[in-house]
Chain A
């Protein structure tokens, strides 16, 4: 695991030096502008507006980083051939892959934590205080991070066997479909054949379910998220990431580099 850690820390360092965290400046400006504007135009729903806006921004920025950098994690190393010298060291390909995954998740965690702090500061500015129920915002941020980890795993898997462009399309496609898994599961049975029903149902369980991670409405209204859901989403992410990363490692371990 030490070798995984070495790769992970270097991936984090790469993100920092490639100025990935500069997005925080954009987020800070957005939060400042929103906090000032919300105070003037919305009466009584300041928290709802600022929390919804903040969480949406955290999610969108995180999505952009996880898809684009997630796909580039391995493909850039293959394309630029930086991987050659590394593979001659005593490091297994799956260790490299896991290290890259952990490094980007670490980057996203730092980025998301900084944005969460910015959101809390904006809430304090708007409400002049924080209450115990506001902790739900942190749960929502944690769920966003879990979702991003899942997206990074998918991006890594796709980048292991296809071109970066297709990997981006596949990842975004899976994300969009994953937002509507519940709808897929509840398609009207009467208009479909039994085989089709079984197929869509099976597919809905195979696809990543991103709906589970959306607690933005609860957070915006200060309603508590059940502990069982937190545990369920955590376990779901761990299991799904393990499966996807295992598949990615299996593909990458057999891949001929150019």
Chain B
């Protein structure tokens, strides 16, 4: 059984606001989560859900109100733990007076690497993220996508065991996104643990062994993308053909395209529906299980959260 790369226990972050900071807004509420060694873990949620807050807490950019976390068995307060961690911040920004090669060399100096090793790694990383031709250009002339690539390069430069990426696909064109996906898969092949946040669900479905869904600062589900959506099977879809007219009641529930109809029914009502349709003279073309996509699962959670928030607002009024 693989060990745990990241362990998060009851992590909570509250931000004081208002006059004298007497009010508090909870960004993250009692997060408990584990990421296993060697897996690609997707942290998904809408904007403001608490994804970046969690990652910033892990990186000690901000400090928790309560709770704790460990990475590779060491508490996050242990600075030596950072030798084995790579981190890409959301919308990364680096010293714009440095060139791409210089900024990578600067970051490499914080790890115990020889000058020759640093030079070799910097060249290799620039090539990997497609910036070898831009190595001597100052970052102030870089586009958002190019900065994202620099950010990715500095995150994996020192060959870390755990790579934490905050919105790695953000700001990238389709080619760039594909390259980032390839890098994540390559890291997985090399046995690294990757945790990345995203709100692009197709990326999560494509890349992740497991995903954690966070909405409104609370973790709403963790599991393989397949198992998460299986829990929410939406019913059975019947595709049928019917020439002419019929007054079968089920037809009013179906979607029509020419002579073809699509009807969705609950699993337990499937056979009764088929009988009715056959009696009405329909020709059944196919019957398939309707599986909720990760997106639908995600949207359900978001809508439930919004409904709950409005209910609280109304009751407070």
Contact = CB atoms under 8 A, between A and B. Distances in A.
A191 interface: no
B45 interface: no
A233 B95 CA distance: 36
Contacts of B56: 84, 257
Q: Which of the listed residues B61, B63, B80, B82 has the most CB atoms from chain A within 10 Å of its own CB?
A: B61
A128 interface: no
A257 B62 CA distance: 6
Contacts of A18: 97
A51 B80 CA distance: 51
Interface stretch (B86-94, B124-132, B204-212, B262-270): B86-94
B6 interface: no
A6 B97 contact: no
A14 B97 contact: yes
B85 to A, nearest CB: 6
Interface stretch (A27-35, A89-97, A100-108, A197-205): A89-97
Interface in A52-98: 80-92
B79 A90 contact: yes
B106 A6 contact: yes
A127 interface: no
Contact of A88 (B59, B95, B97): B59
Given A17-B97, A90-B80, A90-B110, A85 B63 contact: no
Interface in A96-132: none
Interface in B53-83: 56, 59-63, 79-80, 82-83
Interface in A122-164: none
Nearest to A89: B110
A21 to B, nearest CB: 14
A45 B97 CA distance: 46
B97 A85 contact: no
A80 B93 contact: yes
A12 B56 CA distance: 28
A88 B82 contact: yes
Given A88-B82, A257-B62, A13 B97 contact: yes
A23 interface: no
B89 A85 contact: yes
Contacts of A13: 97-98
A10 interface: yes
A85 B79 contact: no
Contact of B61 (A3, A6, A82, A84): A84
A254 B59 contact: no
Nearest to B64: A256
A87 B59 contact: yes
A15 to B, nearest CB: 10
B60 A90 contact: no
A84 B63 contact: no
Contacts of A86: 107, 110
Given A6-B106, A84-B89, A256-B63, A89 B95 contact: no
5 contacts: A17-B97, A84-B56, A85-B92, A90-B79, A257-B61
Interface of B: 56, 59-63, 79-80, 82-83, 85-89, 91-95, 97-98, 106-107, 109-111, 151, 154-155
Interface of A: 3, 6, 10, 13-14, 17-18, 80-92, 254, 256-257
A-B pairs, top 9 by smallest CB distance, nearest first, are A88-B87, A89-B110, A84-B89, A17-B97, A256-B62, A90-B82, A6-B109, A257-B61, A90-B83
